[in-house]
């Protein structure tokens, strides 16, 4: 069961990393500092999937998520905070992913709200 939980959590995290990478294409005009933060993080997210397997790299990635969370508008700040919680799980060796199973639906909901907001605010369609 732990393998399934671990696999599910890592799959969701990888999907969220891809979502975050797509956000990096956001133009800076409509979303101001928020979109600018996403654009500046784009290079850091290039290998983010691999970052989750390495606690030190995951910690650096978490710093990027933290910077975006600080710039995020109120509409999605709580969603970025939720993703921060998810990614923080991977900053330790042998993370206990069992607790994430109950929260996966919430993380998926946060990712969808971020996707919608990015499309409306930054003009980025993350569904493609």
How high is the pLDDT of residue 79? 93
Angle between helices 33-41 and 2-23 (to 10 degrees): 120
pLDDT tens digits, 94-111: 888 787 777 787 888 988
Q: Where are the domains of the chain?
A: 2-122
Cβ within 8 Å of residue 126, ≥6 positions away: 19, 22, 23, 115, 118, 119
pLDDT tens digits, 31-71: 688 887 766 766 566 666 666 788 988 898 889 889 889 99
pLDDT over 60 (residue 122):
yes
User: Is 86 within 8 Å of 101 (Cβ atoms)?
Assistant: no
pLDDT over 60 (residue 78):
yes
The mean predicted confidence, pLDDT, of the chain is 73
Indicate the pTM of the whole model.
Answer: 0.69
Closest Cα partner for 120 from 12, 34, 6? 34
């Amino acid at each position: 069961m732990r393998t399934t939980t671990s696999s599910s959590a890592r799959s969701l995290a990888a999907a969220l990393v891809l979502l975050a990478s797509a956000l990096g294409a956001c133009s800076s005009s409509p979303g101001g500092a928020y979109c600018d933060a996403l654009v500046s993080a784009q290079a850091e997210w290039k290998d983010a999937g691999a970052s989750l397997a390495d606690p030190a790299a995951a910690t650096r990635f978490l710093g990027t998520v933290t910077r975006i969370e600080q710039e995020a508008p109120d509409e999605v700040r709580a969603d970025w905070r939720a993703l921060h919680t998810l990614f923080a799980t991977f900053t330790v060796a042998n993370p206990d992913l069992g607790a994430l199973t109950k929260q996966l639906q919430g993380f998926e909901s946060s990712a969808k709200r971020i996707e919608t907001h990015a499309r409306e605010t930054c003009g980025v369609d993350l569904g493609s």
